[in-house]
Structure 1
Amino acid sequence: MKNLLLLLSIVLLFTSCESKKGQKRIFLDSNGRMNHLLIVMDNSRWSGEVGAKLKEIIMTPVLGMPQQENQFGVSQIPEISFGKMFKASRNILIVSLDSVNNFQSKKNIYAKPQQIIKITGTSEEKLVEMLELYQEQMIRSFKEFDIQNIQKSHIKNSYFETSFKTLNNLGLEMVIPKFFKKVDDTGEFLWLRQRLSGGIAKGDGTSNILVYSVPIPKSKKNLVKIISNMRDTIGKKYIPGSQENMYMVTEKLYTPRVFRTKMDEKPCYVTYGKWDLLNDFMAGPFLNYVIEDVKNNRWIVVEGFVYAPSVEKRDYMFELEAVLKTIHLK
């Protein structure tokens, strides 16, 4: 009898183990806003040289904003406080001393979706070196992770591929969430708008998407001027103000910043700048992507711009970036 009970116990133990192995792991839902980091780091280190270097990296101002806004919001806790509640955070950066100098990037450890980066150094001097060495990779990892999560959330409630004449005529696909509504869709020019509300002094603000194409210019010697003039021409033709001779232009007092990059595996210029309404007081930031479609001798232009006076605009612009980056040339 004892042997039988022992045998049954062993069978139950192995059955239980196999059942647990076969179970799909259940994750907590992560929490936290886009562009926000939970930094796990001892208080003394946060207020010292290592913390100063980290703040310099993560609090770099976002390009093109009317007022300074840092690229990340930050919460900091010491390692001893890193318990269950904080482990459910979406974006976590751990900086600590260890026996090795190391950079690790992992996803979905304590919750989902979650991005965790851990940077260790054998001394505070080495930690500063590691932060400098991996700063671009660190920022890119958190930004791309947030972009991907925004894009995934948009797929569930987006327009059909054939919803807009301009995209069809230009041979384009985009994942556009349905909270953007059509303002204009001529077949050559598309303008979509999302109404923003809450905390905006002069009525509701707006978040906007533009799509169009122009011929590739013969010369690209002064890209800032070429892209600014292109935007001004489109603004005059399609984006009027409330009265005659009012239309959107590139603000002349702020020189736009142009960088070469890639979009949809094609050469692209990305421009960060400010727009304003000629002969009026409306203004805000814009983000413009010019994709080179050499085969068809054209630039495909996708742009996002925001009007949201008296409130921070970083996250609105970041959400626009996530939408714009879904562009695909068929």
Structure 2
Amino acid sequence: MKTFSSILIALVMGIVLTSCESDGTGVDSSKPKARGSIGEIILVIDSVKWAGPVGDQLKEIFESDIPGMIRSEAKFKVNTVDPRAMTRMLKMSTNLIYVTTFDDKGSASQAINAQFSKESKEKAMNDPDIYSLRMEDEYAIGQEVLYLFGNTEEQLVENLKKNGSRLQNLFEVRERGRLEKIILARKNSAAAVEAKNNLEIEINVPASYQVAKSEDDFLWVRQITPSANRADISLFFYETDYVSEEQTFPANILALRDSITRQHIFGDPEDPTSYVVSEKQIPPAFRNMVINDNFTTEIRGAWKTNNTSMGGSYLGYLMIDQDKGKLYYIEGFVFYPNEIHRDALREIETILLNTDVSWQEDQGA
């Protein structure tokens, strides 16, 4: 797939943009700040196209279910808007996607097509791999605007199929970055000290989290929800020796997780026999990746207490640091009955991916 940068070079001259004055710092002072909740996307598209094959592929990219959940939840909150109904307020949205095909003669798609010059359409016609254009801060500061297009629906659908994971990852990374600036503006220094002293890892935990339990190889921090408007989120960090590759097998990861939670995570403080276990009726989802040069397995699944009085979703990472000969399991789990867990899981993901398991004492604080 062509990179977004090469697409920008090919087509930027074909988009009609509003020029504004700069304040000399590279930031356009005349533009307002973008607005929109984390994970929200405004999708500007003809309703007929949204109901057809193009819409089906876009739904697969942006509205597919988060794996391992108790109930169906989409990865992003997508709101569709008719191109002819775009207002100045909607153009200020943080994540904005325009979708069209050049063969569509309908007035809705033509409202988008009018932004492309004849020359840019010819370039797209001569190179069917050109299907997208990414613009930042087009109408507002802190904004991501993405144009998705094709000469025909068939061509656009094919490109969306080939590059869906890249498009999805673009917004996932962007939303984590936005959330990081919000929740990690103030950090819990006490939790960071406990993690360095007991596990030799560096963590970044928001100030709203409190240390619930700390031992030589284990740390549990918790954000107890003060109201029904916010999820109860727990994070825990565990260290053990890395002995064999078999420790990274899915069945062994689950067994490790359950052994940690059975020993350390109580379900009810008043009931010492209550503890957290993995929900076996909902198969967890595993994904391998590399984070900071460390082999990592991501696991998403559902949890419950052994007496089934509570339950929710969790996101965990098994990380191997071969230089230190250590295996780390870090996880966040959510208790938020009858509410959407997507935002809480994105918060967990943002915090956990800021963990550095390779930190050592001689590196300094």
Above 0.5 in TM-score? yes
* Structure 1 contact 246–280 (Cα < 8 Å) conserved: no
Contact in 2 for aligned 1:195/1:206 (Cα 8 Å): yes
Structure 2 unaligned segments of length 5 or more: list them.
Answer: 1-20, 103-120, 125-129, 360-365
Letter in 1 for 2:96: I
Q: What RMSD, in angstroms, separates the aligned Cα atoms of the two structures?
A: 2.1
- Indicate the SS of the match to 1:51: helix
Matched, 1:152 2:181: yes
Q: Secondary structure at the match of 1:172?
A: coil
- Among 33, 38, 55, which residue is 1:29 paired with? 33
**Following TM superposition, by how much is the alpha carbon of 1:161 offset from its aligned partner in structure 2, in angstroms?**
7.7
Report the equivalent of 1:301.
329
**Aligned letter for 1:280?**
T
Distance 1:217 1:284 in 2: 31
What amino acid does structure 2 have at the position aligned with 1:301? Y
Task: Indicate if the aligned counterparts of 1:276 and 1:283 stay in contact, CA closer than 8 A.
Answer: yes
Instruction: Tell me the equivalent position of 2:349.
Output: 321
Structure 2 residue 104 is matched with structure 1 residue 70: no
> Normalized against structure 1, the TM-score is what?
0.87
Bigger radius of gyration: 1
The match for 2:54 is 50
TM-score, normalization: structure 2?
Answer: 0.79
Deviation of residue 321 (structure 1)? 0.5
Amino acid at match of 1:30: A
Residue from 204, 224, 232 that aligns with 2:258: 232
After superposition, where does 1:1-330 map in structure 2 within 5 Å? 23-24=24-25, 25-26=28-29, 27-98=31-102, 99=121, 100=124, 101-160=130-189, 163-199=192-228, 205-220=231-246, 223-242=249-268, 243-328=271-356, 329-330=358-359
Residue type matched to 1:165 in 2? Answer: E
Q: Distance in 2 between matches of 1:254 and 1:57?
A: 23
- What SS does the aligned partner of 1:61 have? coil
Distance 2:202 2:340 in 1: 30
Give a deviation string over 1:113-165, Cα, whole Å, max 9, x none: 22222111001111211221221111000010000111122332113387432
Residue 22 to residue 241, structure 1, CA distance change in 2 (3 Å):
closer
Return the offset for 1:252.
1.8
Q: Distance in 2 between matches of 1:107 and 1:326?
A: 25
**8 Å contact kept, 2:195–2:203:** no
Which residue does 2:114 correspond to in 1?
A: none
Task: State the SS of the aligned residue for 1:174.
Answer: coil
In the alignment, is the contact (CA less than 8 A) between 1:166 and 1:190 conserved in 2? Answer: yes
CA gap 1:253/1:80 in 2 versus in 1, 3 angstroms: same
Identity %: 24
1:42 Cα deviation from its structure 2 partner:
1.6
Closer, same or farther in 2 for the Cα pair 1:272/1:104, shift >3 Å? Answer: same
Task: Please give the alpha-carbon distance, in whole angstroms, between the structure 1 residues aligned to 2:195 and 2:92.
Answer: 42
The letter for the 2-side match of 1:40 is: V
Q: Does the Cα contact within 8 Å between 2:248 and 2:318 map onto a contact in 1?
A: no
Q: Would the aligned equivalents of 1:274 and 1:286 in 2 still touch at CA under 8 Å?
A: yes
Question: How far is 1:219 from its partner?
Answer: 4.4
Contact preservation (8 Å) 2:267, 2:310: no
Given that 1:165 and 1:187 are in contact with CA atoms closer than 8 Å, whether structure 2 keeps it comes out as no
